[in-house]
A and B are shown apart, each in its own frame.
Chain A
């Protein structure tokens, strides 16, 4: 019996549009969670697939021991794709010359991720693509001129003669080594044994490359962890590289945006659930008066809500999943090598959201609804009351959703606590502001007086309304500005025309010729940085033995124990002195140290450093510690010395320039004209970072749109909640002779005041949180966002007033007789 009544009520009310606020709020909550999870998963998967291509695999195990059969077997057992690599330095001989090279010997399945492009021609982008084969090797283009060999010639590697099959055009896991290194050679792993270069004690880097599903890799890692020796260690994408950092920020941002979106969507459900209770209270009283027990009323309305939840959730999940699939297809079009991963997580999250929303947001209002006394049919229903328990269950629901979404207990708890504190603060501020509105009304026009009186009269309700308005505006503002900030920071990190080609190993004699070459091809050369390689041997008379320099651990700046030392009078761009002072004109024998290295070595200002440079000794005093932006993809140095220390040492120079994609022949020309200069192309990496930024931008815009929609819904639900009361008041004022213009103005003033207040509160909070997040989460310097101060209150004023007007305009236009009749009947 109750089931059919519930079903009929649901169907009729749905058709008549009476359930749209609660249905849409639930829809939005489930839809946002499904799409946010889907978007985050897709972008994360795209990013991790992208990052995998930087190491040519999903996971790498590095070892100094020869390949172990049990490790290979374990991988086969887990059915993950695998490849092996050996990396070692060796001399390569041609009939005309010899050169120390870094050899990478690989199995046929290499690379597991990314693309290896080999060309059967001496120049990039020309000739047929080639593949690895026994008895041949592929070389970096500059090696052809260094060894004076042509394609098809034979070179000697250890005991083997191998044919130069062509050049390496793109190598997915090539190290970004701005300071040069040996020219690189790729060969087939099975040919290594015949070369006899691998002897006991040889320094060989053995790498096991794996690729597969995350779960397979995780269980492989778990299985192998137990048997690994000190010689083995796992490698993933280095988070300190520009690409790694960009991805990490993108992931942090997506997570944060998703969480904020969920808070808003959840608030909308909470407000809508309250509204649902208000709207159905009278019907419950009637049903109970007509003979339904509280249990029957509860059954009817619980089923009714269940039907609304089911309807909204199923619809939201369907629409959400379609959007996610659409988005994944979009990414596939964009990134050819992207393999969409369809996980059940968005669906699971959708189901959980609807359960949590219905169970925690709506359960209490519906429970209370059934307790409405039957006598309410004869007496006026009790008015709006602040319900602490609804707030508590709602808060638990928000946190549960945050936890489920982020899967990070501490983060969800922290963010939730922050939101709760803000909510309390806002509530207090809102109550205070509404209260002091009374003296403000003195001497104002009567419409304004009425507006302020309205605000004051519904103090708690308005404080709560102000709280939700502020929260909605705050979260939207926060996301909007973070997104803009993040993009701006990223763009400035890699500005258009930033140098993408580095010239290393330029001898002083070559400087004029290089400058002439640049002029001839209209290339804008960056500063020439002199470079001297030296080893730090003493700190304050203490000889260094085992103390490692940062360079040894960090591939970004090169290999070997020697540091690249430079000298300059000017503090380079992207550098900031954090302690001490930059070089003094009157000073001398000074050194400026990069902050992380200084911390690692325990260096203090005024420490005396001694460097050994080609057998000679140079010393300098630490006069400044510098912070360096390693993400800038610009030449950066750990140690910068004052010119007087190093200018007498023989140096090579480093410079950089920007080259457009289609000017590839200039590089070939440069290689031919200056065979000893190393040209490093970082364009590929810059492009990768830009692609990541572009992907994340699209995802963020989508999320922002969702968050804004949730914010608007919260506002709408709030205004809807006061509709009956407003209608009654309007009926009375109309009957007493209030004119349309007067009432309209009063209403506009009321919403404008609420909107502006909410905007100001949201701005203050957004500014504080932005500062904190920029500093903590994204490691960006704090900046005051002046634009926020007019956009925040302005948006509050306009959005809230317009929404209020849009919802109440029909009510205002209703004839007073109709209003009066409705007021009497209700």
Chain B
């Protein structure tokens, strides 16, 4: 990353392959580069060096707009701070990616997902009228509406209390399982990471695979 004060290397010597339908957790301390890696994998950002392939597309060769189109058709997101549009209702927030991707029956799908996340009653509520857990459930429904091939989740339960966090995590994994989506999860919670098939530890910009035994010891 080039900064005005010079350059800063966040990720280095990093090789990672994620197979279709696999669930992968990336754990690490704050500032270790987890979110940067997520941004690059999802095509939100580009690396200064290296190659990234997403669903067969060479992300590092695509323009920003091409990456956006790829995200619209292949990617779903769940963010730590929910990031719902405050001006739209719960249902409208859910249908937004579908509309952007030009999906026709967005509303029907949106209503189904709302039902699945248990918020059918709240469809016309605005984000500020929903609790944190409810907002994240809306965000999860939003992430699945385009039936993405891959879902990126950035600390999905970090802003929620333990109980609510647990419910949201369950919901995420259930939907993921139902839809057969590839899941890339960034978290600092070991218990959450353990629910994924693969776990990696991010440390000083480098990624290490965590073997089962390592995790148990850790």
Give complex CA distance A286, B77 in Å: 10
Q: Are B45 and A4 in contact (CB under 8 A)?
A: no
In the assembled complex, A292 has its CB within 8 A of some CB on chain B: yes
List A contacts of B88 (CB < 8 A).
Answer: 8-9, 12
The answer to the question of A288 belonging to the interface, with a C-beta cut-off of 8 Å to chain B, is yes
Bound: A296/B79 CA distance, A? 22
Q: CA–CA, A294 to B65, complex, Å? A: 7
Evaluate contact between B96 and A5: CB separation under 8 angstroms.
yes
Q: Are B68 and A821 in touch, CB under 8 angstroms?
A: no
Cβ contacts B141-153/A at 8 Å (1 or 0 each): 0100010000000
CB A672 to nearest CB in B, in angstroms, measures 84
Contacts of A4 in B (CB 8 A): 99
CB under 8 Å from chain A, chain B span 51-73: 64-65, 68-69, 71-73
Contact check, B83 vs A294: say whether CB atoms are below 8 A apart. no
Tell me the residues in window 118-134 of chain A with beta carbons closer than 8 Å to chain B beta carbons: none
Q: Is B75 an interface residue (CB 8 A)?
A: yes
Interface size on A, residues (CB 8 A): 33
A697 at the binding interface (Cβ < 8 Å): no
A654 and B75 alpha carbons, distance in the complex (Å): 98
A291/B87 in contact, CB under 8 A: no
A1/B99 in contact, CB under 8 A: yes
- Report which residue of B68, B86, B92, B132 has the largest number of chain A beta carbons within 10 angstroms of its beta carbon: B68
Given the contacts A8-B92, A378-B154, A825-B82, A294 and B87 also touching, CB distance less than 8 Å: no
Nearest CB in chain B: distance from A819 CB, A: 14
B81–A5 CB distance below 8 A: no
Whether A287 contacts B99 by the Cβ 8 Å rule is: no
Complex contact B87–A826 (CB within 8 A): no
Q: Which of the four size classes fits the interface of chain B?
A: 35 or more
The residue that B81 contacts in the complex, of A287, A296, A824, with Cβ under 8 A, is A824
- When the two chains form their complex, are residues B100 and A287 in contact, meaning their CB atoms are under 8 A apart? yes
Interface: B118 (CB within 8 A): no
Q: With the chains together, A826 CA to B135 CA distance in Å?
A: 13
The yes or no answer to A374 lying at the interface (CB within 8 A) is: yes
| Contact in complex: B65, A295 (CB < 8 Å) | yes
Question: Known contacts A13-B87, A18-B87, A378-B39; is A294 also within 8 Å of B68 by CB?
Answer: yes
Question: In the complex, what's the smallest C-beta–C-beta distance from B98 to chain A, in angstroms?
Answer: 10
Cβ contact within 8 Å between B100 and A290 = yes
With an 8 A cutoff between CB atoms, is B173 at the interface? no
Say if the beta carbon of A16 comes within 8 Å of chain B.
yes
Q: In angstroms, how far is the closest chain B Cβ from the Cβ of A166?
A: 77
**What residue in chain B is nearest A285 (Cβ atoms)?**
B83
What is the CB-to-nearest-CB distance from A369 to chain B, in angstroms, rounded to a whole number?
14
Known contacts A283-B85, A378-B39; is-contact A290 B71 (Cβ 8 Å): yes
CB of A219 to closest CB in B, whole Å: 54
Residues of B within 8 A of A290 (CB): 71-72, 77, 96-97, 100, 142
Hey, which chain A residues are within 8 Å of B210, CB to CB?
Answer: none
Q: Is the C-beta of A404 less than 8 angstroms from some C-beta in chain B?
A: no
Asked if B96 and A377 sit within 8 Å, CB to CB, the answer is: no
**Does B32 touch A at the CB level, under 8 Å?**
no
Taking the closest CB of chain B, its distance from the CB of A573, in whole angstroms, is 68
Q: Which of B44, B73, B87 contacts A375 (CB 8 A)?
A: B44
Whether B100 lies near A375 (C-beta < 8 A) is no
Question: A58 on the interface (CB 8 Å rule)?
Answer: no
Cα–Cα distance between A778 and B92 once the two chains are bound (Å): 60
Please determine whether B102 and A1 come into contact, CB atoms closer than 8 angstroms. yes
* A824 vs chain B, min Cβ distance (A): 6
B101 at interface, CB cutoff 8 A = yes
Contact partner of A291 among B38, B101, B154, CB < 8 A?
B101
Q: Which residues of B contact A16 (CB under 8 A)?
A: 86-87, 126
- Residue in A closest to B148 when the chains form the complex, CB atoms: A291
Is B35 in the interface zone, CB < 8 Å from A?
Answer: yes
B89 touches A (CB below 8 Å): yes
A contact residues around B77 at 8 Å (CB): 289-290, 377
Residues of chain B within 8 A (CB-CB) of A41 are none
CB interface residues, B 35-54, toward A, < 8 Å: 35-36, 38-39, 42, 44-45
Contacts of A594 in B (CB 8 A): none
Say if the beta carbon of A545 comes within 8 Å of chain B: no
B68 engages A374 (CB within 8 Å): yes
Determine whether the beta carbon of B69 is less than 8 Å from that of A291: yes
User: Which residues of the other chain, A, contact B68 by a CB distance below 8 angstroms?
Assistant: 288, 291-294, 296, 374
Chain A residue nearest in CB terms to B99: A1
Q: Which of B35, B42, B142 contacts A379 (CB 8 A)?
A: B35
List, in ascending order, chain A residues with CB within 8 A of B81's CB. 824-826
Q: In A87-103, which residues have CB < 8 Å from any B CB?
A: none
A727 to chain B, nearest CB (A): 14
Given A8-B92, A294-B68, A377 contacting B79 (CB threshold 8 A): yes
Answer whether residue B159 sits at the interface, using C-beta atoms and an 8 A cutoff.
Answer: yes
In the complex, whether A282 has a CB less than 8 A from a CB of chain B is: yes
Instruction: Give the residue name and chain of the B residue nearest to A826 (CB).
Output: B81
Docked complex Cα distance between A296 and B71 (Å): 14
Residues from chain B with a CB closer than 8 A to the CB of A378 are: 35-36, 38-39, 44, 79, 154
CB distance from A798 to the nearest CB of B (A): 33
Chain B nearest Cβ from A301, distance in angstroms: 12
B102 touches A292 (CB 8 A): no
Query: Would you call B69 and A293 a contact (CB within 8 A)?
Result: yes
Partner of A293 from B38, B65, B83 at Cβ < 8 Å: B65
Q: How far is the CB of B186 from chain A (nearest CB, A)?
A: 9
By beta carbon, the residue of chain B nearest A297 is B68
| CB within 8 Å for A18 and B71 given contacts A287-B96, A290-B97, A377-B79 | no
A290 vs B79: C-alpha distance when bound (angstroms): 11
Instruction: Give chain A interface residues in 776-826, CB to chain B under 8 Å.
Output: 821, 824-826
- Cα A8 to Cα B142 with chains together (Å): 17
Bound complex: CA of A18 vs CA of B102, how far in Å? 28
Interface residues of B in 70-123 (CB under 8 A from A): 71-73, 75, 77, 79, 81-89, 92, 96-97, 99-102
Distance to closest chain A CB from B187 (angstroms): 14
Give Cα A286–Cα B89 distance, bound, in whole angstroms.
15
Q: A290-B72, A292-B68 are in contact. Are A12 and B87 (CB under 8 A)?
A: yes
Measured CA separation A70–B132 after assembly (Å): 87
With A8-B88, A286-B83, A375-B39 already in contact, the answer to whether A291 and B73 are too (CB < 8 A) is yes
| Contact in complex: B100, A1 (CB < 8 Å) | yes
Nearest CB of B to A811, in Å: 15
In the complex, A8→B86 CA distance in Å?
12
Residues of A close to B142: CB separation below 8 A: 290
Docked Cα-Cα span, A101 to B135, in Å, equals 95
Residue of A5, A291, A293, A295 most packed against chain B (CB within 10 A) = A291
**Min C-beta distance of A363 to chain B, whole Å:** 21
Question: Given the complex, which residues of B lie within 8 Å of A375, measured CB to CB?
Answer: 39, 44-45
Determine the distance from Cα of A294 to Cα of B44 in the docked complex, in whole angstroms. Answer: 12
B97 touches A291 (CB 8 A): yes
Inter-chain contacts of A283 with B (CB < 8 A): 85-87
Chain A residue at minimum C-beta to C-beta distance from B106:
A1
A contact residues around B101 at 8 Å (CB):
291
Q: Is the CB of B82 within 8 A of A291?
A: no
Please, which residues of chain B bring their CB within 8 A of the CB of A12?
87-89, 92, 126
Q: Which of B97, B126, B154 is packed against the most chain A CB atoms within 10 Å? A: B97
Please list the residues of chain A having a beta carbon within 8 angstroms of any beta carbon in chain B.
1, 4-5, 8-9, 12-13, 16, 18, 282-283, 285-296, 373-375, 377-379, 821, 824-826
Interface residues of B (CB under 8 A from A): 35-36, 38-39, 42, 44-45, 64-65, 68-69, 71-73, 75, 77, 79, 81-89, 92, 96-97, 99-102, 126, 132, 142, 146, 154, 159
Interface pairs (22), CB distance under 8 Å: A5-B96, A5-B99, A9-B85, A18-B86, A283-B87, A286-B84, A289-B71, A289-B83, A290-B77, A290-B96, A291-B69, A291-B97, A291-B100, A292-B100, A294-B68, A373-B44, A374-B71, A375-B44, A378-B39, A378-B79, A821-B132, A824-B159
Q: A13-B87, A289-B83, A292-B72 are in contact. List 8 more A-B contacts (CB 8 A).
A: A18-B87, A283-B86, A286-B83, A290-B142, A291-B69, A292-B68, A294-B64, A377-B77
What are the 5 A-B residue pairs with the smallest beta carbon separation, nearest first? A291-B72, A293-B65, A13-B87, A375-B45, A290-B97
